[in-house]
Amino acid sequence: MERRAGRSPTPPSGRRSSGRSVRRAPGPRWSEPVLALVVLIGAVATTWWRLGPVSRGTVWAEDGGVFLRERLASGVDGTLLRPYAGYLHLVPRLVVDVAVHRPVEQYALTVTAACCVVVAAVAAAVFLLSRDVVPRRSLRLLLAAVPVVLPMAPVEIAGNAANLHWYALVLVPWLFAHRVRSWPGAAVVAVLALAATLTELQSVVFLPLLVLAWQPLASTGPGRHVRRVRSIGAAARLRALPVTVAAVVGCTAQVVTASTTERPSERGHPSPADVVAGYLLQPLAGLWDRRVAPVGGAVADRGGWVLVVPALAVLVVLVLAFLVAPWRARALLVAFAGGSVAVWTAALLANLSANGRWGTLDAAGLAAVGPSRYAAAAGMLLLSALVVAGALLVERGTARSGETRPGGAVHVPRSALGRCVVALVVTTSVTNAAPGASTRSDGPEWAPQVRDAEPACRADPTRVLEVRTAPWSAQVPCALVLRDR
């Protein structure tokens, strides 16, 4: 059989010999929700395990203080949107409300479990929402795991409602930038965006990303096909309206609250050296050692290059990824990396107690420095930026067109660098995964105190118990103790 002149044979693989690479066909539609469910279950189990048994059973700070006290006094409808410390805490107050409906003896475990579920939901949402920027599923799984495997997370912010708001920061950029494909999807994203913005004031930092929600995804093909896609995209842009309204409403409520309520904490006045040295010693160093003190000791013994070299390496990775990334991924890279610095700086400016005077620490101070909860949020954003950068480099910068470009040999070291970044993230995450010392690892556990107080409550049902928490105490009416007996 003769071939027609002017046509080249199609290779058996199904690709034409045009030098162009073709993206692999996506898996079945049901596989994404199934994988998201796997992420959800795995994240709940991992977050729960990393806390350790004593931390899981210990109530932390506001969970037994203002959140519980106000919930018992005013009910759920009187507290959900009540300001505390200058902003709204919608999701943490919902968690406390759920826990109050359980037997009071199980209050600590219920709060911990509910917080683990919320973090897992954040991870699953990141997995689904990041598909347009990180199409490879294995890399998306790692990206989704960031809030779960962050080395510093179990030290203070994981498993308690008081610090649950930090996790909104890693979800909000994906919610704001996501290009929804259906109206039901638009509704879900809007609800999540409203919940996140009514939980974390600093969500306002990422409002510019809403521009991406209104922009069509890049497409290629014949002119007629492109015109059709553009017409469909123009009609579909309105699907970005729900998340935009939700984000603006939530952020406006937070800004108004912050402007009209008084914060009990004194404002900080950090020097530039405190901000820079603190960022290198806390969010950055905390990515490879959650204890931080060993890194501080290494700085005292060997000098500042212990931090400067990794910082420069991170900067190089982010810049290289930015150069090869499509515009949507570039915006998210800048948002995560810039957001990390912004959140850290804002914490030092808003809270005098957050400033460890890292710019003036001597050798003994460096060796004794401990992890900061403010570093966990900034570190979570920085780690997300690194995983996105590694994923983009692994794809060798072809996300924009899906075609092999001239100079393809350059793509090999790019891909190798991306794989090294991914391997390093996995290694540090595994190294720091096991339960360790935390703000709650020494107790006091909640349940034994409530059980031991039951006879006293039966003798005087009007009594109010003083139940010790970390680091404060909670007032629990005996009526609540006897309610489920």
The pair of structure tokens assigned to 288 is 């490879």
Q: What's residue 265's pLDDT?
A: 83
Q: What's residue 395's pLDDT?
A: 85
Q: DSSP labels for 257-281?
A: HHHHS--SSPPP---HHHHHHHHII
Domain layout of the chain by residue ranges: 31-401+408-431, 446-482
The pair of structure tokens assigned to 451 is 């059980």
* CB-based contact 73:45 (threshold 8 Å): no
Q: What's residue 218's pLDDT?
A: 59
Q: What's residue 149's pLDDT?
A: 98
* CB-based contact 148:202 (threshold 8 Å): no
Q: What's residue 28's pLDDT?
A: 63
Q: Percentages helix, strand, coil for the chain, rounded to the nearest 5?
A: 65, 5, 30
Residue type, 265: S
Q: Which of 193, 332, 317 is nearest to 251 (CA)?
A: 193
Report the distance separating Cα 205 and Cα 163, nearest Å: 19
Report the distance separating Cα 89 and Cα 465, nearest Å: 26
Report the distance separating Cα 240 and Cα 210, nearest Å: 8
pTM for this model (two decimals): 0.89
Which residue ranges in the chain fall short of pLDDT 50? 1-25, 220-229, 397-404, 406-407
Tell the burial category of 331 from Cβ atoms under 10 Å away from its Cβ (0-12, 13-18, 19+): buried
* CB-based contact 375:152 (threshold 8 Å): yes
**Any idea which residue has 């995804």 for tokens?**
217
Q: What's residue 251's pLDDT?
A: 98
Q: What's residue 412's pLDDT?
A: 73
Report the distance separating Cα 92 and Cα 111, nearest Å: 9
Q: DSSP labels for 419-453?
A: HHHHHHHHHHHHHT-S----TTTT---HHHHHHHT
Report the distance separating Cα 383 and Cα 343, nearest Å: 14
